[in-house]
Structure 1
Amino acid sequence: MTEKEKMIIGLPYMASDRVLQKARLVAQRACFRYNQIDPKHHKERKALIRGLFNSTEALFCVEQPFYCDYGFNITIGNNFFSNYHLTILDCAPVTIGENVMFGPNVAIYTAGHPIHYETRNTGLEYALPVNIGNNVWIGGNTVINPNVNIGENSIIGSGSVVTKDIPPNVIAVGNPCKVLREITEDDKRYYYKNRLI
């Protein structure tokens, strides 16, 4: 089994593997080119992302700058929007549903390192997937750690560090991120706190 195959299925692997180094360089160069494109050239920007990601739908916007490890492990659904400075360490699959919005400085980390320093110092790594359901809003400066699932329709408050699964239809915030409350039908009446639409 190759180091790439181990990486993608969640087994320990060596990130120093030459094949993985070359794949990261391809992604780094693609991100560099993407981040240099004049923002008015929407078609060029979309074409580059389509070539980098595993899968995209028709409608999406990834604001510059954007960074990722590989790109080939990222799948985004229709009507995806990410604000400035999105970073996705996609050593394992990152699957993002439809109608998902990210604030600025969102970071998704699938990669991790062993706890014991002797094992960590060998260069051994692991990667576990991240799944984000439909209609999710991730607030700015949020970090999503490996092996996390965020349920559909949920909101993650700004500055959160998501270390465990978040159920659907909730507002969750904090470090570590915890459920604050459920989203209800009454929430349709307000655009911000107690301000009526």
Structure 2
Amino acid sequence: MSPDTGCPGPAGPTTAADYLPTDGGRSNRQRMLAGEWYVADDPENARIAAHARRELARYEHAFNEGAPDAAKHLRSAIPHLGEDVVLLPPVRVDYGENLTIGPGTFANYGLTALDVAPIRIGANCQLGPNVQLLTPVHPLEPAPRRARLESADPITIGDNVWFGGGVIVCPGVTIGDDCVIGAGAVVTRDIPAGSLAVGNPARVIRTLDDTTFRPHRH
């Protein structure tokens, strides 16, 4: 029983070591990169995350001051950037090195890309403000969650995709080429290419192609 609440205390394993296999001393970082359960206290993970935070803080300052070295700091934090990528600060990542962004992509203010698992954004995408790309997964069960176990599933976004402001993409989702995701949508499952999807959870309401374009909006 819990002495504070009178409720039953946790039973069974209560530390991460109780859940993780003994497999030759692999690090938590190695487990993370393999897409397995791990604990996010690996020293190498901490070093990479700290580097990304520092460089993105420098990028934001340099960008706001119009300094010529702004792009250098952005690429130091996120090495896998295509040509002509524009990310308006602030930008937030877990590690940066697991994020790949194709050429010509633009992200408005406040992109959050939690790249515990790989995040791939295609070419010529347009992301509205405060988009969140979230790969981490935590156990639903209380005891392993209390033990700080974590995993992650990759996110893949195709070419020429447009996200409205505040879109949230959940772990393991793939969004095909030429999609439009409406503002505020929460994408919990794959979206096929050429789709307009809206809502929470996001659902496809229309298929898009060039024949639907109207030169005059009114």
TM-score (norm 1): 0.92
Aligned to 2:78: 53
How far did 1:189 drift?
A: 2.3
- Which residue is 1:67 aligned to? 92
2:37 paired with 1:12:
yes
Q: CA deviation at 1:22?
A: 2.0
Equivalent in the alignment of 1:162: 187
Task: Please report how far the alpha carbon of residue 23 of structure 1 lies from its aligned counterpart in structure 2 after TM superposition.
Answer: 1.8
| Alpha-carbon distance in 1 for matches of 2:63, 2:79 | 24
Displacement of 1:40 after TM fit? 5.6
Letter in 1 for 2:190: D
Query: Which of the numbers 168, 176, 196 marks the counterpart of 1:151?
Result: 176
Per-residue deviation at 1:52? 1.8
28-37 or 174-183: which moved more?
28-37
Residue equivalent to 2:5: none
Counterpart among 113, 138, 141 of residue 166 in structure 2:
141
Partner letter of residue 143 of structure 1?
I
Q: Secondary structure of the equivalent of 1:125?
A: strand
**Deviation of residue 24 (structure 1)?**
1.4
1:88 deviation in Å?
0.7
Deviation string, structure 1 residues 32-63 (Cα, Å, up to 9, x no partner): 21222243637422222222224111111000
Aligned residues with identical type, % of pairs: 37
- Aligned residue number for residue 124 of structure 1: 149
Q: Which amino acid aligns with 1:35?
A: E
Pick one of 43, 61, 67 that aligns with 1:36.
Answer: 61
Q: Which residue is equivalent to 1:22?
A: 47
Change (3 A) 1:42 1:187: farther
Normalised to the residue count of structure 2, the TM-score between the two structures is 0.84
What amino acid sits opposite 1:177 in the alignment? Answer: A
Shift of 1:159: 0.1
- Distance, in Å, in 2 between the alignment partners of 1:130 and 1:21 is 22
Number of matched residues? 193
Q: CA deviation at 1:90?
A: 0.5
Q: Distance in 2 between matches of 1:143 and 1:8?
A: 23
Report deviation, 1:10.
1.1
SS, match of residue 64 in structure 2: coil
Structure 1 window deviating more from structure 2 (126-135 vs 182-191): it is 182-191
Q: Secondary structure at the match of 1:37?
A: helix
Distance 1:190 1:9 in 2: 48
Segments of structure 2 that go 5 or more residues without pairing to the other structure are 1-25
Report the AA paired with residue 188 of structure 2.
T
Work out whether residues 8 and 127 of structure 1, in 8 Å CA contact, stay in contact via their aligned partners in 2. Answer: no
Answer with 20-29 or 162-171: which moved more.
20-29
Q: Output the amino acid matched with 2:35.
A: G
Which has more radius of gyration?
2
Partner of 1:189: 214
